[in-house]
Amino acid sequence: MYTHSDALTTLFDLLNSLNALISHLTSQQQAAKQRGLELYQLGEFEECEIHLTISASAGDAPSQYALGEAIRRRVGSVDPDAQAWYRLAAAQDHVYALMRLGGETNLAKAKTLAQAGADAGDGAAMLQLYELTKDRSWLRKAGDAGCAEAYYIAALLYDKNPEASDNRDSMLRYAAFKGFPPAMKWLANMQTYYRNLSYQRIHLEKRLALNDLDGVMTYAGALGGFDIDESGTNRYHYPENKIHAYGLYWLVMDSTRQNPRHADAAGYLQQLASALTAEEMETAKAYGRQWKTEHPALSEFRLTYSDLK
């Protein structure tokens, strides 16, 4: 009797035997990988699977791991489909895939690989060692080696301890300085800095340059007149520009489906539509398309492995 799991097993056995023979992706497979990873970073877990399956099936280990992650996040557990993709990535020494599979042998191999990378000065490998050992000293080492995400994770952990606020704030500042948008948002919105307009704008504009999804929504809100402070004025003091606000909300709505910001953007678009002509809305969409060409892909900058929030 034919079953979905039987078909997957056959496919994965075939792919596993081919992995060692594949060294490069074609241009189409590379494009699918890039699009899939972009969608994954937006939390579009269903749609990203379509694209990642193409590059993962071609033997690309990062795609295999990301596909396993997308399935895990979509279904809420490491189900057999996710495990199968993790196994393929793990067979190519993908550290996080080995960690998701777990078990003494896989974790030992992951630690050996991560330690080798850390010994070579790789900050990402040092972060892997933190995830494997939960030794927080690796977070500082990873951050010092250039991994901004590690500083941010350290700040999240310090935030759970009210007596560690100084350590939390220093880790946040380091992560923000090294360009991690979630750290910039958190830092700029802390009570210490909330009323510092120049500080707020500096961090928002850095986030916009990286096309951070929350940053784009915040900027659109300021331009559209939706982000008003208690005094009744625009919090960031940007000149109102409903056409540009509409264009950015349209870009978010056009780029997402599952992400909760899709519904938020749709609501703001509906409000702005009553103040714009049809011609102005087309101009706004052109602005949104131009923004897309001039910036990296929209992203939530989710953590690589940890589910900390």
Instruction: Give 126-168 pLDDT, tens digit per residue.
Output: 999 999 999 999 999 999 999 999 999 999 999 999 888 899 9
Question: Mind listing the pLDDT tens digit for each residue in 177-193?
Answer: 999 999 999 998 887 77
User: What single DSSP character describes residue 305?
Assistant: S
DSSP string covering 202-240, please?
A: HHHHHHHHTTBHHHHHHHHHHHHT--B-TTSSBTT-PPP
What count of Cα atoms within 13 Å lies in the side-chain half-sphere of residue 151?
25
pLDDT at 84 over 90: yes
pLDDT at 2 over 80: no
Per-residue model confidence (pLDDT) at position 233: 66
Per-residue model confidence (pLDDT) at position 3: 42
CA dist., res. 224 & res. 268, Å (int): 9
Question: Mind listing the pLDDT tens digit for each residue in 235-267?
Answer: 788 999 999 999 999 999 999 999 999 999 999
Options 3.90.820, 1.20.58, 1.25.40, 2.60.40; CATH of 1-102: 1.25.40
Which sign, positive or negative, has the C-alpha torsion 39, 45, 46, 51? positive
Average per-residue pLDDT for the chain: 91
Q: Which residues of 48-64 are buried (b: 16+ CB within 10 A; e: fewer)?
A: bbebbbbbbbbbbbbbb
CA dist., res. 196 & res. 189, Å (int): 10
What is the pTM for the complete model shown? 0.88
Domain boundaries along the sequence of the chain: 1-102, 211-294
Cα separation values, 272 from 121, 217, 289, 298, Å: 50, 14, 18, 22
Per-residue model confidence (pLDDT) at position 232: 61
Per-residue model confidence (pLDDT) at position 9: 45
pLDDT at 63 over 90: yes
Per-residue model confidence (pLDDT) at position 177: 94
Question: Mind listing the pLDDT tens digit for each residue in 5-27?
Answer: 454 444 444 444 444 444 489 99
Three-point CA angle 117, 34, 307, nearest 5°: 60
